[in-house]
Amino acid sequence: MRALQSLAFAFGDFLLIPEERLLLRGGEPVALTAKAFDLLVVLVRRAGHLVTKDELFDEVWPGTFVQETNLTVNISALRKALDDGRDGSRIIQTVPGRGYRFVAPVVVRDAVGDPLLRPERGPTADGASAVQPVTQETPARRVAGVSGLAWVLLAAVGCVALVAMALWRAQPAGQNVTFASVAVLPFLSDSPASNYLADGLSEATVNGLVQMEGLRVAPRASALRYKGTAVSPKQAGRELDVAAVVTASVTQRDRSLRIQIDLVDAARDAQILGTVYRSDASELPHLQTKILQDLAQALKGPLSEPQQRRLSQPATGSAEAYRAYLQARFEWSQRSEDGLKRAIERFREAVAIDPTFAAAYAGLADAYSALGYLSYLAPADAFPEARRHATSALELDPSLADAHASLGS
């Protein structure tokens, strides 16, 4: 019996070779994220049959909590890569409330021994042919009208592409490709109780990346349009005019945190970084620092010593102060009068716990500025408070971008 790893799957003008993690179309590699490729393999191997959402989660995200949005986004990206739905044809069928079914006809081939995927042998010593040549009279040996010779060429191109991809992947991250711009999409949370954590960490990630020289970060307000929507990183990158996109999901169980961070090359729709961070809630400030370091290096390559020093310093050493800060940022992002007032309370709580917490003072400046601009508080009262807190922040950290922005406003 042939091992599944040695099989290739042909459908339409596509050739899927799971063992090589390669999808070809007309001899050209098709760019897919790692999870989208894994989904395709599961669906194709069970072509014609319903694959439930739970089965897909177990196969593609084993042993981890994943929101259904992740599945939806990857299925959407997969359909786009396959031109699913063009001319009314369907490749992946949605079974409402259940899962998905791969409905395109699939021909299974042996990626190693099938003559469609290797050169045909010449006559043997006794004059017989070891493998019968593929002809138009043998339709069982043809797929989607492609001749044996075409498949040989297709496989050859695939091998070349595979070698090139392997060489590219063998290079240390960041040495060959750097990015001049990035957007941080709203982080997903596993429950309403964790929304503040997801939003706060997203805001903190934006604020941290802004400190990087030579990196343009899309304003958080621009990325907020995607909150609660299933958008692919490629689409978001195009619409926000950035080269890379950060997505993330946050799961909290009592004091245990799990944060999955993905960095995607928006132009190629290819994953650059995919990491799961696990930590106790007491280590949250240091966890955020580690996330920033990894993202910065993936985006810009090896960091300079000043950059390493800056990114290695947590905003505060107190988990309680940092949690209050994240709650404040969540309230601040609501932009309502009550939300801004609650944000001020939480920011004050953070600086009471850690009087050296510069980012919390900058948060106070942001909140008072918003109160003034939105006319929830008289500008004559709001803006002096904003400047006072921004000055306090800069006394603690002269390079803090948020505080400079508040003073500039």
Model pLDDT for residues 326-354, shown as the tens digit of each residue: 999 889 888 899 999 999 999 999 999 99
pLDDT at 323 over 60: yes
Type of residue found at 308: Q
Compute φ and ψ for 252, nearest 5 degrees: -125, 130
Which residues of the chain are in CATH 3.40.50.10070 domains? 181-311
3-state DSSP assignment of residue 376: coil
- Locate all alpha helices (DSSP H) within 173-232, ordered by sequence: 195-209, 220-223
Stretch 226-240: mean pLDDT: 88
d(Cα 129, Cα 326) in Å, to the nearest integer?
Answer: 72
Q: Is the pLDDT of residue 5 over 60?
A: no
The token pair at 183 is 């957007």
- Confidence check: pLDDT of 149 > 50: no
Most confident of 101-110, 262-271, 307-316, 343-352: 343-352
Residue with tokens 């259940």: 98
CATH number of 319-408: 1.25.40.10
Instruction: Determine contact, residues 342/331, Cβ cutoff 8 Å.
Output: yes
- Percentage of the chain lying above the pLDDT 70 cut: 78
In this structure, whether the domain defined by 181-311 belongs to CATH 3.40.640.10 is answered with no
- Taking each helix axis from N to C end, the angle separating 53-60 and 34-45, rounded to the nearest 10 degrees, works out to 120
Count Cβ atoms below 10 Å from residue 33 Cβ, excluding itself: 24
Sign of CA dihedral 67, 70, 75, 80: positive
| Cβ-contact 44, 104 below 8 angstroms | no
Are 55 and 99 within 8 A, CB to CB? yes
pLDDT tier for residue 400 given thresholds of 50, 70 and 90 = confident
Give the tens place of pLDDT for each residue, 176-198: 578 999 999 999 988 888 889 99
Q: What are phi and psi of 138, to 5 degrees?
A: -120, 75
Q: What distance in Å separates the CA atoms of residue 258 and residue 188, rounded to the nearest whole number?
A: 12
Residue 58, pLDDT above cutoff 50: yes
Are 80 and 142 contacting, i.e. CB atoms less than 8 angstroms apart? no
Stretch(es) of the chain classified as CATH 1.10.10.10: 4-120+143-170
pLDDT of 232 over the 60 cut: yes
Residue 359 pLDDT exceeds 70: yes
Answer whether residue 110 shows pLDDT above 80: no
- 66 pLDDT tier (thresholds 50, 70, 90): low
User: Is the pTM for the entire model greater than 0.75?
Assistant: no
Is the separation of the CB atoms in 250 and 188 below 8 Å?
yes
Buried b (16+ CB within 10 A) or exposed e, 368-388: bbbbbeeebbeeeebbebbbe
The residue type found at 115 is P
Return the percentage of the chain with pLDDT > 90, whole number. 36
Residue 295's closest CA among 358, 205, 177? 205
Which residues of the chain are in CATH 1.25.40.10 domains? 319-408
For residue 301, give both structure tokens.
């390559």
Is pLDDT larger for residue 75 or for residue 120? 75
The pLDDT tens digits for 260-296 are 999 999 998 888 888 888 888 888 898 999 999 999 9
Long-range pairs, 220-223, Cβ under 8 A, ≥24: 220/184, 220/333, 222/183, 223/183, 223/184, 223/185, 223/186
Question: Does residue 156 register a pLDDT over 50?
Answer: no
Q: Which residues contact 178 (CB under 8 A, 6 or more apart)?
A: 299, 300, 301
Residue 109: CB atoms within 10 A of its CB come to 21
Q: Give yes or no for residue 64 having a pLDDT over 80.
A: no
Which of 133-142, 198-207, 240-249 ranks highest by mean pLDDT?
Answer: 240-249
**CATH, range 4-120+143-170:** 1.10.10.10
The residue with greater pLDDT, 122 or 312, is: 312
Alpha-carbon span 40 to 51, nearest angstrom: 11
pLDDT score, position 177: 72
DSSP-derived 3-state class of residue 15: strand
Handedness of CA 148, 150, 154, 157 (dihedral sign): positive
What are the Cα distances from residue 249, in Å, to 184, 196, 276, 310?
A: 12, 13, 9, 25
Task: Answer whether residue 403 shows pLDDT above 80.
Answer: no
Query: Residue 133: its pLDDT value, please?
Result: 29
| Mean pLDDT computed over every residue of the chain | 79
- Report the alpha-carbon distance of residue 197 to residue 362 in Å, rounded: 19
